[in-house]
Amino acid sequence: MTIPVETILNVAIIGVGEVAMVTHLPTLMLCSHMFKTVALVDISRDSLAHCAKKFHVPATYTDVGEMLKGSPEVDLVIHAVQCLNAGKHVLIEKPMALTKSGADEIEAARKKSGKVAFVGYQRRFAGAFLRTKELVEALPKDSINYVRVRDIIGWCGAFPGKFTDFPPEAGAERQALNAQLFNEALGPKAANPLDKKTWHVLNALATHDMSVMRELLGMPIKCLAATRNPAGFFTSVIFQYPNFNAYFEMGVDNVVKFDAEIEIYAQNKHIKLNYDTPYIKGLPITATVVERKANGDHSEELIRPTYEDAYTLEYKALYNAIVNGTEVRNGPLDAKEDLEIFMMIMDVMI
């Protein structure tokens, strides 16, 4: 269906930190034929002033309720439950929720409102990912021998403004909320600072990889083993699938490199999906296929469907879901499956 160019969705962004500055706001400006950012919400007035001036946003607020009253023209909000209940479509950044009850609350609000709730798994909208999915689905049944998922990243070349003018009570409120969420998610393990850090890193970083793994391979049967380094920033996991194991390695360090990929080793074909940093526009996401042909030939193919970045492709899919009613494959119930995998990991973590 052709997108009607006369339909422009008004957007409000709640929380204008690093990700908003280097991905959402620039992408929305590039997609100005579909979206217009009309309001920003944050507890930092300096951050609001900076982003409003830099990205030409007319209205700023320090409270979500004030925004919903003061900018009724908003169609889409990058936030969750309160805005669904106010009748707005939402784009929810990862992690969508730290607890299963939080995920259920978002899904209930989505169903009640009838609005789109779209979780920001941008890697699943890359052209190369969709090609990889086609290739994996075409593999002979039971031909996958092994899968390797890797996400080891350092500083990624972002240059957002840094602001610290937060109300004194905001830090204490955030700590109290985090404590409540960790207690609910982890139970007795919440008393262990290393377990809390691991849960945070899994939700902040591994959710990218688990989401891709799930769409390509489905949910794992169980987690066979999991370990981490003493600092909690490097984790290694082995997942069991019906006919193969998947090895996941994740880490965060200070090296200026973005090393993220998933490789599927089938009997006669290896398929590797390689991601680069989403903070730099136009870096290609590619897939590489190495295989043995029926005649015995060795073949190597590089697949690069587009230079259009995953965030832009994600916003196009979001637009189509809102305006044209296309299916949302990355809603709250889909995102809840990440929490199920993370609990598998925590249950066997040493």
Residue 316 covered by a domain: no
Q: Could you tell me what percent of the chain has a pLDDT over 70? A: 97
First to last CA, the chain: 51
Residue 55 covered by a domain: yes
Peptide bond into 72 cis (omega under 30): no
Cβ partners under 8 Å of residue 35, min gap 6: 8, 9, 10, 11, 28, 76, 315, 319
CB 270 within 8 A of CB 289: yes
pLDDT at position 307 over 70: yes
pLDDT at position 46 over 50: yes
DSSP assignment of 200-267: HHIIIIIHHHHHHHHHHH---SEEEEEEE-TTSSEEEEEEE-SS-EEEEEEEE-SSS-EEEEEEEEES
Domain hosting 190: range is 123-309+330-348
Check residue 4 and give its pLDDT.
Answer: 52
Check residue 159 and give its pLDDT.
Answer: 64
Number of domains within the chain: 2
Find, among 336, 329, 333, 324, the residue nearest to 130 by Cα.
329
Check residue 147 and give its pLDDT.
Answer: 98
At 156, which amino acid appears? C
For CA atoms 120, 123, 126, 132, the dihedral sign is: negative
Residue 235 covered by a domain: yes
Find, among 198, 197, 181, 217, the residue nearest to 96 by Cα.
181
CB atoms within 10 A of CB 250: 23
pLDDT at position 278 over 70: yes
Same domain for 92 and 69, yes or no, is yes
CB 217 within 8 A of CB 147: yes
Q: Could you tell me what percent of the chain has a pLDDT over 90? A: 88
pLDDT band at 229 (very low <50, low <70, confident <90, very high): very high
Residue 303 covered by a domain: yes
Same domain for 155 and 275, yes or no, is yes
Same domain for 115 and 57, yes or no, is yes
- Average pLDDT on 213-238 reads 97
Pairing state of beta strands 222-228 and 269-275? Answer: unpaired
Tokens found for residue 227? 């370990």
- Burial (0-12, 13-18, 19+ Cβ within 10 Å), 148: middle
Same domain for 73 and 138, yes or no, is no
Check residue 171 and give its pLDDT.
Answer: 87
Of 121, 145, 165, the position where a domain reaches its end is 121
Pairing state of beta strands 144-153 and 9-14? Answer: unpaired
Sheet holding 245-252: strands in order across? 222-228, 234-240, 245-252, 144-153, 258-266, 269-275, 286-292, 298-303
Tens digits of residue pLDDT in 61-85:
999 999 999 999 999 999 889 999 9
**Nearest-angstrom CA–CA distance, 192 and 9:** 45
How would you label 64-75 residue by residue, b for 16+ Cβ within 10 Å and e otherwise? Answer: beebbeebeebb
For the chain, give the mean pLDDT: 94
Pairing state of beta strands 89-92 and 76-78? Answer: parallel
Continuous segment of H or E residues that includes residue 168 = helix 168-186
Tens digits of residue pLDDT in 134-159:
999 999 989 999 999 999 998 655 66
CB 93 within 8 A of CB 87: no
Same domain for 104 and 14, yes or no, is yes
pLDDT at position 5 over 90: no
Check residue 140 and give its pLDDT.
Answer: 92
Q: What is the largest CA-CA distance in the chain?
A: 70
**Nearest-angstrom CA–CA distance, 140 and 137:** 8
Residue 177 covered by a domain: yes
Residue 90 covered by a domain: yes
Residue 136 covered by a domain: yes
Confirm whether pTM is higher than 0.85.
Answer: yes
CB 238 within 8 A of CB 223: yes
pLDDT at position 39 over 60: yes
